[in-house]
Each structure stands twice: as structure tokens, then as C-alpha cells.
Amino acid sequence: MPPEGSLAKYYNPLINLIRQSPKPVIAAVNGVAAGAGANIALACDLVIAKESARFIQAFSKIGLISDAGGTWMLPHLIGYARAVALTFLGVPVYAKEAAKMGMIWKMLPDTEFDAYIDEIAKQLAKQPTYALALTKQALQRSAENNMNQQLELEQNLQYLALSSQDYKEGVQAFVEKRPAQFTGR
């Protein structure tokens, strides 16, 4: 059994908190995200990076393996071949290339970054957070489910969403042709 170290005490619980959080988690990468820092960012729901940002799987350069969920996240995000290359070679990936390969959601010019992060956070806060939590759950389960299992999960989660106050408010706002005021219930 491995000794209790920083992975068991800090990093793994943090990755689990990010992945299990009912709220959308944004990683705003504005510099170098290396090693566990890169993998913590990749565990987030929306990864947005400055154009000058870089992601580096630096573990092989010091005799370690990718951790903090990197061996799971990278292949799921960018495919096995790219994940192997990045983890074996430890080469930096600039934000523009990370966005092209599907590692991150969006790359922005450095000058637009802060305003965009604020805008996205405010937008998410105004949305039906309960439905977002259910959607996050469905998306995460899709990696382990077959199509029929996923359809059943969607059906069950949609039933929960249909019984929410946010759904009622969304329909009422649509009928009244006004912006919805969601409460997360």
C-alpha cells in the first residue's frame, strides 16, 4: 500500500471535489500550468487560457508518472496517442494548440482574458444551476455508460429537472417573453 503523501492528502481529494461539485468549475489559466497544476486545470469543467499560457506534463523529466488525474483526463480529452506523447516527452503545449486538440475549451488574447473570465462566471451564476449540475453528472457518466444506460440516466435526470423551480421559471419566462430569474432550486 502506498504511503499517505500529498497525492492522497491534497491532490486526489481536490480532483474529486472538482469533478463531484454540482457547480461548474472554471480553470482560468494565465501562465504555466505544469505537472499536477496542469492536471488540476484539466479536471475543471471549463478550461480557459490566456494565449501565452502553457500546459506541461513535466513528470517524466523528474522520474515520476503523471498524477492528479492526468492519466485519466488526458486520454479522454485528446486521445491516447497525444496523451502518451505529452506525458512521455514532457513538451509544453501552448494554449492555442491545447484548444485545437481539445485539451481546453478556449484560448483568449491576454488582453481579453480577465474580462472574459468575469463574464463567463456571471453568466453561469445566472443560469439554472440545478440543471447544470444534472448535466455535469450526465456528461461525466457518459464515459462509462453505453447508449442505453446513458438514455436511461438522461431520462431520470430530466425527470428531476422537470420538477425544479428553475424549470417552472424558465417556461414562465419564455411564455412572458422576459429573461428568466433562476434560483438554483
Q: What is the mean pLDDT of residues 102-131?
A: 95
State residue 143's pLDDT score: 86
pTM for this prediction: 0.89
At 137, is the secondary structure helix, strand, or coil?
A: helix
Q: Which residues contact 87 (CB under 8 A, 6 or more apart)?
A: 57, 59, 60, 65, 66, 70, 71, 74
| CB-based contact 63:35 (threshold 8 Å) | no
Q: What is the mean pLDDT of residues 83-104?
A: 96
State residue 74's pLDDT score: 96
State residue 138's pLDDT score: 95
Task: Indicate if the pLDDT at residue 102 is higher than 80.
Answer: yes
Task: Indicate if the pLDDT at residue 2 is higher than 80.
Answer: no
pLDDT tens per residue across span 143-169: 899 999 999 999 999 999 999 999 999
What's the whole-number average pLDDT of the chain?
94
State residue 3's pLDDT score: 64
HEC string for 37-94: HHHHHHCCCEEEEECCCEEECHHHHHCCCCCCCHHHHHHHHHCHHHHHHHHHHCCCEE
d(CA 18, CA 22): 9
Please, is 7 exposed, middle or buried when counting C-beta atoms within 10 Å of its C-beta (0-12, 13-18, 19+)? Answer: middle
CB atoms within 10 A of CB 134: 21
Q: Which residues contact 113 (CB under 8 A, 6 or more apart)?
A: 28, 30, 48, 50
d(CA 172, CA 46): 29
